[in-house]
C-alpha cells in the first residue's frame, strides 16, 4: 500500500464534469416559526467548499495525485470563488470555460445539530454549446500526454453530453482508462467506457433490474457490463458496502468500513477518485475497490463535503484487521450469461 501511495505523485488524472460549489450554513434550532410550521435556524457559521467534479479533483489532490480539470462555470461571484479555491490548492484552471449566460452551480445545505434541514440549488442545466464542447475537447487533447486516466463526473448539469463522451472515446482510442460516476437518464451515453460507479438506484435504472437481493444485484452488475461493454462495474450500496463486477466474470462483495454514517454527501466523488487513482498507479481492480471502500468509510463519518488522505486509508485498514469479513471480501466466479436486452 505504501509503495502504491508513492506512485500517486506521478499519476495524472483528468477530471471532466459539472463544477459546483457546496455551501453549508450551520446553526441551531431553538424554536418553530410563528409564520409557518418550520424550524427557525439561528446561523452560526457558513462554509463554501469545492463540490461536484471539483470535489473529485480535490480528493485526488488530497491523496497526493496530479490532477487536471475541465468544465464550465458562469461569469458570477461563485465562479470566481471556485477558480480562486482551485488555484489556492495548486490546480491549473486553464481548462475551465466561462459561459456568459450560465450560473455557476451552487448546492446550499442548511445544517442544524448535525442534521440537514433543507437543501436548495442554484444552477443552469442546459447542455453546453458547440463552442464550449470544442474547447473542452481541445483541453482533453492537450492533457493526454500528461495523464493515465479520465474521470467523468456527471451531475446532469449540462456539461456531460452523449456527443462529448463519444468524442472523448475517439480521442483516447482505448489507450486511457475512463471512469464514470453516472447519472440516471444518461446510461446510453457511457457505452465503451472502462468503469462506471453507480449507486443502487442508478444501477437498477441503468440495467433495468430491480435490485432487492444479491441475486438481482449480480444480474444488474452483469447486465451493465454487457450492455456498456466496460471492464468493470462498481456498485456502491450505502451501509452494505460495494460490489465489484469484472469483465472476467468475477464478482467481489466488499462490506462497509464505516463506523458511523453521518453524511453521504460527496462519498461517490471520493470513491471514483480513490479507485481511479489507485488503479492508474498500479493496483488491480479488486485492490482499488477495497481502498476506495476504506476511503468512503472515512468521508461518510463526517458531516459535509470532505476529502480523504493516504493516512486516513491506512488507519482504516489497520482498524479493520480484526474483522474477517473485511479482510477477505467475498469473491465468486460467475458463469457468463446471455444479455437480456
What's the number of domains the chain is made of? 1
Task: Tell me, yes or no, whether 32 lies in a domain.
Answer: no
For residue 305, pLDDT over 80 is answered with no
Backbone φ, ψ for residue 63 (5° rounding): -80, -10
Poorest-pLDDT segment among 65-74, 129-138, 330-339: 330-339
Q: What is the mean pLDDT of residues 55-65?
A: 95
Q: Which of 18, 181, 269, 312 is catalytic?
A: 269
Give the predicted TM-score (pTM) of the model.
0.90
Reported as a pLDDT band with limits 50, 70 and 90, residue 256 is confident
Task: Tell me, yes or no, whether 167 lies in a domain.
Answer: yes
Task: Tell me, yes or no, whether 326 lies in a domain.
Answer: yes
Alpha carbon distance 101, 93 (integer Å): 20
Task: Tell me, yes or no, whether 174 lies in a domain.
Answer: yes
- Per residue in 208-250, pLDDT tens? 999 999 999 999 999 999 999 999 999 999 888 899 999 999 9
Task: Tell me, yes or no, whether 339 lies in a domain.
Answer: no
Catalytic residue flag (residue 269): yes
**Long-range contacts for 88-94 (Cβ within 8 Å, ≥24 apart)?**
89/58, 89/61, 90/61, 91/57, 91/61, 91/67, 92/68, 93/69, 94/139
Task: Tell me, yes or no, whether 249 lies in a domain.
Answer: yes
- Per residue in 74-112, pLDDT tens? 999 999 999 999 999 999 999 999 999 999 999 999 999
Other CB atoms closer than 10 Å to residue 332's CB: what's the count?
11
CATH number of the CATH domain containing 142:
3.40.1190.20
Read off the C-alpha cell for 286: 479488486
Alpha carbon distance 24, 111 (integer Å): 7
Whole-Å CA distances, 256 to 27, 86, 287: 30, 31, 15
For residue 332, pLDDT over 60 is answered with no
Q: What is the mean pLDDT of the chain?
A: 89
Residue ranges of E strands in the chain: 12-17, 19-32, 39-52, 66-74, 96-99, 105-112, 115-122, 149-153, 177-181, 195-196, 232-236, 242-246, 250-254, 330-333
Reported as a pLDDT band with limits 50, 70 and 90, residue 325 is very low
Task: Tell me, yes or no, whether 230 lies in a domain.
Answer: yes
- Which residue range forms the structural domain that includes residue 156? 2-27+40-333
For residue 262, pLDDT over 60 is answered with no
Q: What DSSP string runs through 301-326?
A: TSSSS----HHHHHHHHHHTTT-HHH
For residue 46, pLDDT over 90 is answered with yes
What pLDDT score does 340 carry? Answer: 28
Rg (CA), the chain: 20
What pLDDT score does 299 carry? Answer: 82
What pLDDT score does 267 carry? Answer: 85
Alpha carbon distance 92, 86 (integer Å): 7
Task: Tell me, yes or no, whether 340 lies in a domain.
Answer: no
Amino acid at each position: 500500500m505504501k509503495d502504491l501511495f508513492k506512485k500517486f505523485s506521478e499519476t495524472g488524472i483528468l477530471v471532466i464534469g459539472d463544477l459546483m460549489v457546496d455551501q453549508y450554513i450551520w446553526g441551531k434550532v431553538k424554536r418553530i416559526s410563528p409564520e409557518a410550521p418550520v424550524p427557525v435556524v439561528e446561523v452560526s457559521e457558513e462554509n463554501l467548499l469545492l463540490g461536484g467534479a471539483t470535489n473529485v479533483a480535490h480528493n485526488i489532490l488530497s491523496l497526493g495525485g496530479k490532477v487536471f480539470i475541465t468544465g464550465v462555470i458562469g461569469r458570477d461571484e461563485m465562479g470566481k470563488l471556485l477558480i480562486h479555491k482551485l488555484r489556492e490548492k495548486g490546480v491549473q484552471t486553464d481548462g475551465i470555460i466561462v459561459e456568459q449566460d450560465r450560473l455557476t452551480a451552487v448546492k446550499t445545505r442548511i445544517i442544524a445539530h448535525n442534521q440537514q434541514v433543507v437543501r436548495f440549488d442554484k444552477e443552469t442545466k442546459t447542455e453546453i454549446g458547440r463552442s464550449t464542447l470544442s474547447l473542452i475537447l481541445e483541453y482533453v487533447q492537450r492533457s493526454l500526454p500528461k495523464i493515465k486516466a479520465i474521470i467523468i463526473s456527471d451531475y446532469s448539469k449540462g456539461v456531460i453530453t452523449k456527443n462529448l463522451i463519444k468524442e472523448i472515446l475517439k480521442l483516447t482510442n482505448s489507450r486511457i482508462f475512463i471512469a464514470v460516476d453516472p447519472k440516471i437518464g444518461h446510461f446510453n451515453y457511457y457505452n465503451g467506457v472502462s468503469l462506471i460507479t453507480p449507486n443502487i438506484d442508478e444501477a437498477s435504472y441503468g440495467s433495468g433490474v430491480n435490485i432487492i437481493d444479491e441475486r438481482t444485484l449480480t444480474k444488474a452488475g452483469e447486465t451493465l457490463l454487457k450492455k456498456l461493454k466496460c471492464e468493470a462495474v462498481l456498485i456502491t450500496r450505502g451501509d452494505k458496502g460495494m460490489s465489484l463486477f469484472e469483465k472476467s466474470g468475477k464478482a467481489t462483495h466488499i462490506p462497509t468500513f464505516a463506523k458511523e454514517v453521518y453524511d453521504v454527501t460527496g462519498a461517490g466523488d471520493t470513491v471514483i477518485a480513490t479507485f481511479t487513482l489507485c488503479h492508474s498507479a498500479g493496483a488491480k481492480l479488486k485492490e482499488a475497490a477495497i481502498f476506495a471502500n476504506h476511503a468512503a468509510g472515512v468521508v461518510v463519518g463526517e458531516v459535509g463535503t470532505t476529502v480523504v488522505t493516504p493516512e486516513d486509508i491506512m488507519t482504516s485498514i489497520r482498524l479493520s484487521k480484526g474483522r474477517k469479513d473485511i479482510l477477505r471480501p467475498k469473491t465468486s466466479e460467475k458463469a457468463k450469461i446471455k444479455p437480456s436486452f
